[in-house]
Copies of this chain bind each other. A is one copy, B any other.
């Protein structure tokens, strides 16, 4: 790319960076937890329409996607699940098409009193913006949009189709990204600016969500010995799951892409609920498990192993032995994915283009990171043959209190994204 064009593009990112920060703040003000993304999606649709993109906004229909590979089971319908895609279509493309993807859903913010300031009243301090979703991943969504704005500001347009996607359900199933595939969106590469500190995600784990349901035998606590406490019955089951976690994380069990990662597969007991009354031996307990798996690890086999571990542990409990824990799956049923294993020419070229863009902005090499979380990249990479690059700004405490994103990092990623688009898609004068 011509050095002058590059500098014009970078200057255009700087020129509207204050506006971008304000856009990010506005987007972060929407408490777009799962089921409540409509306000934020309306803002995204409006922003795309105002820029002249062709906007596609649709409610996901489970029936359309449930038989597709990568689908994760979901409870209830999707009346409240709306995807937004803005399309820049080129009649005679001279470059390679691109999907710029991001998710609009955020995870629950937890007790507000544990935040230093309200989670949906974003504030900037010391160069960081604080707020639930600011990092994961509204800064990425803002970056996608403003990277394209910078091109336009420089009098340029991508010389190939670009689809700007704002999807729901990333944090629980990925069915939002899957629905984009079902809708027919395809491109020669995808970029997802998830907040991994300006490194390229070389591999990501898969994730399973399971709900374990225990029964107990309730009695008046006066006769507690004759009952079977369903809450306390959970304790050895959780210990057994941790033992499985240890086995899967052992060196000999590892996927090579995670050789250098301290603890690739994390088990999390993320929710628990049980019992009705302090003075009754609880008759039920339900806990939610999140477990990581490696790329290539078979989901059905993993699930069966988890279930076997739970049933084995139940043998030590006289009541549970007769009333085995029930394992329900809804939410993540996500395979692992390693773009580093994609040996296609497209993958090689996309990574190389991103390396160039990153170096042009930062002056340094593009780091690789194998992450212990999942992203929507798997849909593009595993089920549509689209190499998916995960590369986004530095954020901290994502899913925690005082989540924050570094604004200068968002600036750099926006610049790198703009240069990557220009390189990958080519540019033409507006």
Query: Roughly how many angstroms separate A114 CA and B276 CA in the complex, as a whole number?
Result: 14
With A283-B110, A283-B401, A399-B221 given, is the CB distance from A272 to B270 under 8 Å? Answer: no
Query: Roughly how many angstroms separate A280 CA and B222 CA in the complex, as a whole number?
Result: 37
Identify 14 residue pairs between A and B in the complex whose beta-carbon atoms are under 8 Å apart, listed by A's number: A110-B276, A114-B215, A172-B279, A218-B400, A221-B266, A229-B269, A231-B270, A269-B275, A271-B277, A272-B282, A278-B288, A278-B289, A280-B399, A283-B400
Residue numbers in B under 8 Å from A373 (CB-CB): 220-222, 279
Residue numbers in B under 8 Å from A107 (CB-CB): 276-277, 279-280
Segment 280-333 of A: residues with Cβ below 8 Å from B: 280-285, 287-290, 331-332
What are the nearest 9 A-B pairs in CB distance? A222-B373, A220-B399, A270-B278, A224-B266, A271-B275, A221-B268, A108-B276, A278-B288, A222-B372
Query: Roughly how many angstroms separate A269 CA and B108 CA in the complex, as a whole number?
Result: 27
Please determine whether B229 and A268 come into contact, CB atoms closer than 8 angstroms: yes
Please determine whether A218 and B268 come into contact, CB atoms closer than 8 angstroms: no
Query: Roughly how many angstroms separate A346 CA and B267 CA in the complex, as a whole number?
Result: 63
Encode A225-267 as 1/0 by CB contact (under 8 A) with B.
1010101100100100000000000000000000000110011
Query: Roughly how many angstroms separate A288 CA and B135 CA in the complex, as a whole number?
Result: 36
Segment 351-373 of A: residues with Cβ below 8 Å from B: 371-373
Encode A358-396 as 1/0 by CB contact (under 8 A) with B.
000000000000011100000000000000000000000
Residue numbers in B under 8 Å from A277 (CB-CB): 107-108, 171, 270-271, 399
Query: Roughly how many angstroms separate A217 CA and B400 CA in the complex, as a whole number?
Result: 7
Copies of this chain assembled into the complex:
2
Q: Which residues of A contact B (CB under 8 A)?
A: 107-108, 110-111, 114, 136, 171-172, 207, 209, 215, 217-225, 227, 229, 231-232, 235, 238, 262-263, 266-285, 287-290, 331-332, 371-373, 397-401
Please determine whether A232 and B110 come into contact, CB atoms closer than 8 angstroms: no
How far, in Å, is A233 (CB) from chain B's closest CB? 11
How far, in Å, is A276 (CB) from chain B's closest CB? 4
* Best-surrounded residue of A267, A276, A371 (most CB of chain B within 10 A): A276
Query: Roughly how many angstroms separate A270 CA and B277 CA in the complex, as a whole number?
Result: 5
With A232-B238, A274-B272 given, is the CB distance from A222 to B279 under 8 Å? Answer: no
Please determine whether B279 and A111 come into contact, CB atoms closer than 8 angstroms: no
Please determine whether B287 and A269 come into contact, CB atoms closer than 8 angstroms: no
Instruction: Specify which of B222, B235, B281 is in contact with A235 (CB 8 Å cutoff).
Output: B235
Query: Roughly how many angstroms separate A170 CA and B89 CA in the complex, as a whole number?
Result: 71
With A227-B400, A274-B272 given, is the CB distance from A110 to B280 under 8 Å? Answer: yes
Please determine whether A274 and B271 come into contact, CB atoms closer than 8 angstroms: yes
With A276-B110, A278-B289, A278-B290 given, is the CB distance from A222 to B400 under 8 Å? Answer: no
Please determine whether B278 and A268 come into contact, CB atoms closer than 8 angstroms: yes
Query: Roughly how many angstroms separate A221 CA and B245 CA in the complex, as a whole number?
Result: 13
Residue numbers in B under 8 Å from A218 (CB-CB): 110, 399-401
Residue numbers in B under 8 Å from A172 (CB-CB): 278-279
Please determine whether B270 and A279 come into contact, CB atoms closer than 8 angstroms: yes
Residue numbers in B under 8 Å from A272 (CB-CB): 231, 272-275, 282, 285
With A110-B218, A110-B276, A114-B215 given, is the CB distance from A225 to B281 under 8 Å? Answer: no
